[in-house]
């Protein structure tokens, strides 16, 4: 039937188009659902490749050749000596890896491990010429394994290299050859940038930079790399060390200004000494004309509201710390008005501790101020760093603000009834982070059905969007009252699917929950609670798999 379609009329072909459309979409849905990450650990010292645990639902540990073609991301853990000595290429050229291919992998992440000890390196004595040739051959093998590769991430740490200058030159050469494959490289944690003197000269036309500094003195060099790639850069996520001077983003050493015509994502924060930063004064022309996503992890580092005023027509996503300095700037310039940012869709705010001591008279006033920022935004996230008990009554004063979807209050230990009232006040809330809840004293003969009837009679249609309850690090999550609160909330909120306990007591939490679900008190609601138990177990298992 299908064999003669190629020679038939256009009408016959048109009849098959819906079938092809269904097949293609089914394929896309299946691939999107199950494609995951593979990991390989290549060691020239032990002359072996070890398959890391890939994040598949079945929890496979080794390469599964019938399904590896579904992988979209490949992580390779390797060291520079194995690459430059040719050992890595030898390993990948032997069975069973010689025919190993990942036809759908579009993203490669290279994690550089420390080099093996000298006694494990055998007779491989390297010179610069052989090292560069072996690195080039390794890159060609990567291209053959991943023919559709389009993204490369490089992650290194303080111990990735020998204490010699030659290793830096080899790494720069390898980066240059990798760069020629895709045209851009995303750097993650290049903490040795102070020793890679050739890096600014070799790396050009980058579109993405993700930089995390953990060493003093590396700021200026990475800022030089950022500036020289300003004409092509699309995304910049940068965490600087110590007292950072953000003016290096937009101003060259000679005083001339730099423009980023295509930059749509800018996230800047400080790893040390938060709140101590130089003020950044913008020139007359805003350097980020296409900026859509802005994240500010500083105690407001700008001298005026130029970045908000200039990017008002383009800004869609805002993440910022709300401190006294930031709030004063917003008050002074009237940055946010109902019509000032027409495209702003997402606002994420982290509340700093100094707000409650100096700026606002109450938490409720602070909340009202936050929710007045960009009233048109449809997605809001509020994260408080305060552990003040003042948050408990303040929660009930949120009023009719229905736009908050994610609320993080790590210092709050709510009662079950406080949580119910909160969910009633915030009907769009999907994720809540608090300490473990406390169950108010109940009559000994109080049944689950009576509690549900009492609650539902007063709080109808609550938590329709509520999905996950996260518990902070200092929660007593294995206590009976915590588990009882979780189970009762699952019966009250039809969409509640998962409790997310911290890592310190996951096993006991799951065991306590399983025991309580099986008691006579909750037995009539076993199917619903079994679903919650299963989802929570899957989340805990996924976390364990990713951590191993």
pLDDT tens-digit map of 522-531 = 888 888 888 8
Within 13 A of 223's CA, how many CA atoms are on the CB side? 19
Which range among 43-57, 175-189, 307-321, 421-435 shows the weakest confidence by mean pLDDT? 43-57
The answer to whether 352 and 322 have CB atoms below 8 angstroms apart is: yes
Q: How much of the chain, in percent, has pLDDT values that exceed 70?
A: 51
Give pLDDT, residue 62.
Answer: 42
pLDDT for the residue numbered 64: 45
Highest mean pLDDT among 36-45, 224-233, 275-284, 398-407: 224-233
Q: Which residue has the higher pLDDT, 92 or 472?
A: 92
Among 145-154, 234-243, 345-354, 399-408, the range with the most confident prediction by mean pLDDT is 145-154
- Tell which wins on pLDDT, 481 or 384: 481
b/e per residue 146-171 (b: at least 16 CB within 10 A): beebebbbbbbeeebbbeeeebbbbb
Task: Indicate if the pLDDT at residue 383 is higher than 80.
Answer: no
The more confident residue out of 504 and 343 is 343
Mean pLDDT (the chain) is 68
pLDDT band at 305 (very low <50, low <70, confident <90, very high): low
d(CA 87, CA 188): 25
Q: Residue 292 — pLDDT band, cuts 50, 70, 90?
A: very high
Token duo for residue 499: 């409790």
Res. 91: pLDDT tops 70: yes
Task: Report pLDDT for 163.
Answer: 45
- 398 contacts: CB under 8 Å, gap ≥ 6: 364, 367, 404, 422, 425, 426
pLDDT tops 60 at residue 201: no
Given pLDDT bands bounded at 50, 70 and 90, which one contains residue 158?
very low
pLDDT at 336 over 60: yes
Q: Which helix (H) or strand (E) segment is 317 a member of?
A: strand 317-322
Question: What b/e readout covers 25-61, taking b as 16+ CB neighbours within 10 angstroms?
Answer: eeeeeeeeeebebbbbbbbbbeeebeebbbbbeeebe
Question: Which pLDDT does position 473 carry in this prediction?
Answer: 62
Higher pLDDT residue, 134 or 124?
134
The two tokens of residue 502 are 């911290």
Spatial separation of the C-alpha atoms in residues 435 and 325, rounded to whole Å: 29
Residue (of 171, 179, 157) closest to 84 by Cα position: 171
State yes or no: pLDDT of 58 exceeds 50: no
Residue 141 has pLDDT above 70, yes or no: yes
- Lowest mean pLDDT of 29-43, 452-466, 503-517, 522-536, name the range: 29-43
Percent of the chain whose predicted confidence (pLDDT) is above 90: 1
How buried is residue 381: exposed, middle or buried, by Cβ count under 10 Å (0-12/13-18/19+)?
middle
pLDDT of 42 > 70? The answer is yes
Rounded to an integer, the average pLDDT of 332-355 is 75
DSSP state at residue 8: S
């Amino acid at each position: 039937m299908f064999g003669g379609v190629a020679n038939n009329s256009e009408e016959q072909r048109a009849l098959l188009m819906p079938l092809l459309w269904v097949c293609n979409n089914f394929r896309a849905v299946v691939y999107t659902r199950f494609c995951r990450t593979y990991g390989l650990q290549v060691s020239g010292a032990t002359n072996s490749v070890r398959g890391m645990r890939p994040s598949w639902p079945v929890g496979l540990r080794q390469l599964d050749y019938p399904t590896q073609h579904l992988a979209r991301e490949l992580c390779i853990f390797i060291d520079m000596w194995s690459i430059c000595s040719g050992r890595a290429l030898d390993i990948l050229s032997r069975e069973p890896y010689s025919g190993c291919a990942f036809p759908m992998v579009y993203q490669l992440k290279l994690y550089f491990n420390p080099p093996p000890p000298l006694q494990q390196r055998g007779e491989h004595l390297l010179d610069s010429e052989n090292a560069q040739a072996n690195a080039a051959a390794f890159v060609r093998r990567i291209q053959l394994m991943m023919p559709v590769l389009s993204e490369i991430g490089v992650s290194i740490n303080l111990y990735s290299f020998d204490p010699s200058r030659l290793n830096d030159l080899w790494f720069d050469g390898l980066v240059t050859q990798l760069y020629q494959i895709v045209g851009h490289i995303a750097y993650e944690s290049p903490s040795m940038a102070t020793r890679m003197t050739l890096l600014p000269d070799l790396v050009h036309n980058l579109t993405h930079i993700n930089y995390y500094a953990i060493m003093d003195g590396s700021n200026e060099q990475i800022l030089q790399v950022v500036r020289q790639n300003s004409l092509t850069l699309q995304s910049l996520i940068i965490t600087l060390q110590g007292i950072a001077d953000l003016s290096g983003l937009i101003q060259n050493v000679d005083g001339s200004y730099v423009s980023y015509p295509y930059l749509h994502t800018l996230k800047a924060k400080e790893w040390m000494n938060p709140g101590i930063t130089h003020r950044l004064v913008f020139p007359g022309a805003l350097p980020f004309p296409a900026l859509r996503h802005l994240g500010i992890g500083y105690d407001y580092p700008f001298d005026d509201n130029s970045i908000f005023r200039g990017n008002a027509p383009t800004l869609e996503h805002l993440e910022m710390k709300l401190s006294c300095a930031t709030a004063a700037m917003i008050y002074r310039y009237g940055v946010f008005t109902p019509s000032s940012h027409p495209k702003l869709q997402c606002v994420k705010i982290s509340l700093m501790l100094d707000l409650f001591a100096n700026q606002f008279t109450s938490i409720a006033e602070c909340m009202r101020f936050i929710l007045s920022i960009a009233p048109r935004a449809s997605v809001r996230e509020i994260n408080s760093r305060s552990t003040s008990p003042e948050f408990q009554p303040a929660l009930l004063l949120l009023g009719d603000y229905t736009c908050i979807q994610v609320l993080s209050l790590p210092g709050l230990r709510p009662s079950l009834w406080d949580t119910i009232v909160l969910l009633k006040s915030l009907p769009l809330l999907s994720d809540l982070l608090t300490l473990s809840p406390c169950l108010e004293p109940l009559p000994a003969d109080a049944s689950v059905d009576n509690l549900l009837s009492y609650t539902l009679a007063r709080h109808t249609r609550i938590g329709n969007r509520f999905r996950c309850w996260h518990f902070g690090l200092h929660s007593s999550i294995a206590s009976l009252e915590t588990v009882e609160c979780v189970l009762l909330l699952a019966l009250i909120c039809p969409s509640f699917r998962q409790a997310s306990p911290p890592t310190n007591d996951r096993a006991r939490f799951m065991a306590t929950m399983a025991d309580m679900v099986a008691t006579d008190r909750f037995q009539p609601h076993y199917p619903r609670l079994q679903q919650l138990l299963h989802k929570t177990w899957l989340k805990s298992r996924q976390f364990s798999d990713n951590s191993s």
